Each structure stands twice: as structure tokens, then as C-alpha cells.
């Protein structure tokens, strides 16, 4: 009886934590997608807004590639080594310095003047530490504060929009939002205090973190390939068109990301691995949720475009189904990758991601010139379908391998 009560309480807590994490994503992305980006598109126009999206692609690549990677690395490594805050804060600083320099060099043509370069660097650095910062609440499983953390970020974006209207510097929107979230974790948590206390395991943290950062970098380049490639191949307007059509799907992907954080938090809390049967159960649940999300995207995308981007409704109508399916498959593969990461070596994630990116580049370079935006969309769909198959094969093989004592092997 006592065990049953404990199990029920644990399930209620998981549901509660899920609602908190989804709520945080809803607040943050609701402000971004319903206020910030539609207003920027209306005020700047589709072509110039495409340039904004192009610059933010580098932020969206670097932020989670370093911040989220080190966040997840700390959750896994904590089971094995007594690491310190400084091990991660300093590692992130090293990775950030290199990443920001490379990003600014690549995005330089879209930046005008010293102020733009400085603001872009600030957005990148703050975003990296914001992605890492929520590990404070994942370590303690305090998802109420996780929700507040992302609410601070979203409200900060809204305040930053006011600063943008006053100064004309749109990057102040993101500087303000990221800084607001970091101020919250600074005063409610301890992961940045002390900031630079290294342990003897610092080299291990750097080495293991680097592998994961590279893997996440490949993933996030892939996720933002539309902005990077379309800007060069078809121009800023094409970037805005694809972004608008994919927005509902990408937003739902962001909703599943918090669920992923809960999954890895709980699966790494105890020193055990999931079985093949459990992997299939996780996979089946992901497929079922993905099917529901696809239907929601099919209904929501045309309505969203007519409401917030009416000038693009006609030119994007033929892309909706293919792009939505592409985004849902991306969501499913990201979810499956998180599950597989808990019981396989990190190298497999990197290997599959590199193969996926290579296949994707071959497809989009081959299909876009002749068919334009429709060819690009079809290439993205094919690549994501192949990725799902590869992840399922990896998970099926490794979830069934055992230690000699019967425990699932990493």
C-alpha cells in the first residue's frame, strides 16, 4: 500500500513537472512567435526580416549547441564524478569564445558596424548561458522555478521590444530577455556561485563536453539549415516564407523539448538503463504524440499564417503539408535521440548526426536549384525520414545489450 502511494505521488509529480516545463515553453515562445517576430516582419518587411532570421540562426545554433549540451552532460556526469560549478562554467566559456568568434565571422556580411557585432556577441553569450542555466532546476527537479525562469526570459523579450522601438536596435530584444532569465537563476540558484572553482575532473568535463557540443552543433546546424542555405540560394524572402510555414511545427517541437528534459532527468537520476521493451514503449508513445501534433499543425498553420503573416498566405499555401511532416519527424527524432542517449555511447549520436547532415546537404543542393523552395522542402522531408529509421535501429540494437550481471549496458 505504501509503495502504491509513493508510485502515485511520483506519477503526479511527473505530470506536474511536465505541465510546468510545457508552460515555460508556451510563455517564452508565445511571446516570441505571436508578438516579436510578427511585429518585426510587419515593420521590416519579408526580405529584411529574413536577414534577422539569418543572424538569429547563428544564435540558435550556438546557444543550445554549447549551453544545452553542457547542461545534459552535467546531468549524466553527476552520476559518475563529483564535478563542480567551475568545471562547467569555465568549459562553457572556452567553447563560447571559439563559437562566437566563428559565428561573427560567418555572419559578418549581415552585421553593420561595431555596435551590431557587439550586440550579436552579447546575444550569443547570454543565450549560451541561459540554455545551460536551467540545469539548476533540472538537477533538483524543481520545475516550478524552471517555469518561472523561462517566464522571466519571455517577459524580458517583451521589455526588450520596447527598447528596440526606442533605439532601432532589434538585438536588444534578445539581450534583455536572456539577461532577465540569468538574473533569476543568479538569485535563486547556485550553479554560478562560485563561478570558477575547478576540480581535478575539469579535463574530463571538457573532453566529454566537447564530444557532446560537436554532436549538438551538427544537430543545430541541421535544424537551422533552412535559414543558412535559403538566404544564400534564394534570398531573404525565401527564408521568411519557409520560417513562417514551419513555425507551428517548430513551436510544437519546442513543447516536446521540455518533456525531453524530464525524461533525461529521471532516466539519469538512477544508475540503470532501460530495456528494449521500455525503448519500444517510449518510441510508441513518441509516434502517437507525433501523429496528434501533425494533425494540429495541419489545422493551425494555415490559420496562423492568415492571422499573423497574411502577406505570405498565398505564396506559402503549397508547402504546408510537406513542411509540417518534416517538422514532426524532426520532433520525433529529437525525442528518440534523448532516450537513446541515456543508454548508448555519445559517439553514436555524433556519427548519426554527421551522416544525417551530409545526406541533407546532398539532397538540398541537388533538389533546390531546379524546384526552388518546394524542392528544398522535399529534400528536408526525405532526410528526416531516413534519420528516424537510423535512430530506431540504433536504439533497438543497444537497448537489448546487457552486462554480465543483467543490467543494461551503456
C-alpha cell at 219: 544537430
Q: Could you tell me which of 49, 42, 50, 102 has the C-alpha nearest to residue 229?
A: 50
Q: What is the 3-state secondary structure (H, E, C) of 124-172?
A: HHHHHHHHHHCHHHHHHCCHHHHHHHHHHHHHHHHHHHHHHHHHCCCHH
Average pLDDT, the chain: 88
Residue 408: pLDDT over 80: no
pLDDT for 281:
87
Q: Of 1-10, 188-197, 261-270, which range is least confident? A: 261-270
Helix 236-267 to helix 320-341 angle (10° resolution) is: 30
Burial of 45 (0-12, 13-18, 19+ CB in 10 A): middle
Q: Is the confidence at residue 258, as pLDDT, over 80?
A: no
Which secondary structure element, helix H or strand E, spans residue 37, and what is its range?
helix 37-44
Give which of 376, 292, 378, 356 is closest to 328, Cα–Cα.
Answer: 292
Q: What is the pLDDT of residues 49-85, one digit of tens each?
A: 899 999 999 999 999 999 999 999 998 888 788 899 9
Q: What is the pLDDT of residue 256?
A: 66
pLDDT per position as a tens digit, 81-133: 889 999 999 999 999 999 999 999 998 888 888 999 999 999 999 999 999 99
Q: Rounded distance, CA 33 to CA 247, Å?
A: 8
- Whether 213 contacts 69, CB under 8 Å: yes
Residue 317 DSSP label: G
Task: Decide: helix, strand or coil at residue 402.
Answer: strand
Q: How far is CA 74 from CA 155, 212, 300, in A?
A: 28, 11, 37
Angle between helices 202-223 and 225-233 (to 10 degrees): 50
Q: What is the mean pLDDT of residues 278-293?
A: 87
pLDDT by residue (tens digit) across 212-237?
Answer: 898 889 888 988 999 999 998 998 88
- The domain limits of the chain are 1-217, 224-410
User: What is the rounded distance in angstroms from the CA atom of residue 244 to the CA atom of residue 316?
Assistant: 8
Amino acid at each position: 500500500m505504501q509503495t502504491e502511494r509513493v508510485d502515485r505521488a511520483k506519477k503526479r509529480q511527473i505530470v506536474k513537472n511536465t505541465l510546468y516545463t510545457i508552460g515555460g515553453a508556451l510563455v517564452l515562445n508565445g511571446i516570441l512567435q505571436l508578438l516579436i517576430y510578427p511585429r518585426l516582419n510587419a515593420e521590416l518587411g519579408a526580405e529584411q526580416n529574413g536577414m534577422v532570421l539569418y543572424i538569429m540562426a547563428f544564435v540558435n545554433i550556438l546557444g543550445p549547441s554549447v549551453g544545452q549540451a553542457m547542461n545534459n552532460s552535467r546531468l549524466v556526469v553527476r552520476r559518475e564524478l563529483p564535478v563542480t560549478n567551475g568545471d562547467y562554467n569555465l568549459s562553457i566559456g572556452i567553447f563560447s569564445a571559439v563559437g562566437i568568434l566563428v559565428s561573427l565571422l560567418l555572419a559578418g556580411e549581415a552585421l553593420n558596424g561595431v555596435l551590431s557585432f557587439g550586440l550579436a556577441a552579447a546575444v550569443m553569450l547570454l543565450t549560451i548561458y541561459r540554455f545551460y542555466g536551467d540545469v539548476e532546476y533540472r538537477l533538483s527537479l524543481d520545475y516550478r522555478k524552471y517555469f518561472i525562469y523561462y517566464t522571466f526570459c519571455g517577459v524580458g523579450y517583451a521589455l526588450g521590444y520596447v527598447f528596440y522601438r526606442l533605439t532601432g536596435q532589434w538585438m536588444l530584444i534578445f539581450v534583455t530577455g536572456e539577461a532577465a532569465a540569468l538574473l533569476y537563476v543568479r538569485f535563486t540558484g547556485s550553479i554560478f556561485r562560485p563561478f570558477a572553482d575547478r576540480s581535478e575532473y575539469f579535463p574530463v568535463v571538457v573532453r566529454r563536453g566537447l564530444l557532446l557540443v560537436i554532436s549538438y552543433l551538427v544537430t543545430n546546424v541541421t535544424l537551422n539549415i533552412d535559414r543558412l542555405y535559403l538566404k544564400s540560394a534564394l534570398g531573404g524572402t525565401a527564408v521568411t516564407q519557409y520560417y513562417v510555414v514551419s513555425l507551428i511545427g517548430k513551436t510544437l517541437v519546442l513543447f516536446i523539448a521540455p518533456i525531453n528534459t524530464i525524461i533525461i532527468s529521471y532516466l539519469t537520476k538512477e544508475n540503470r538503463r532501460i530495456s528494449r521493451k521500455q525503448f519500444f514503449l517510449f518510441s510508441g508513445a513518441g509516434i502517437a504524440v507525433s501523429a496528434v501534433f501533425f494533425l494540429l499543425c495541419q489545422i493551425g498553420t494555415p490559420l496562423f499564417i492568415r492571422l499573423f503573416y497574411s502577406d505570405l498566405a498565398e505564396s506559402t499555401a503549397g508547402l504546408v503539408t510537406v513542411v509540417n511532416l518534416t517538422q514532426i519527424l524532426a520532433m520525433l527524432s529529437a525525442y528518440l535521440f534523448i532516450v537513446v542517449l541515456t543508454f548508448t555511447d555519445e559517439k553514436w549520436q555524433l556519427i548519426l548526426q554527421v551522416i544525417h547532415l551530409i545526406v541533407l546537404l546532398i539532397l538540398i543542393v541537388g533538389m533546390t536549384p531546379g524546384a526552388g523552395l518546394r524542392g528544398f522542402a522535399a529534400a528536408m522531408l526525405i532526410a528526416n525520414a531516413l534519420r528516424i529509421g537510423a535512430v530506431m535501429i540504433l536504439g533497438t540494437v543497444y537497448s537489448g545489450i546487457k552486462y554480465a550481471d543483467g543490467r543494461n549496458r551503456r
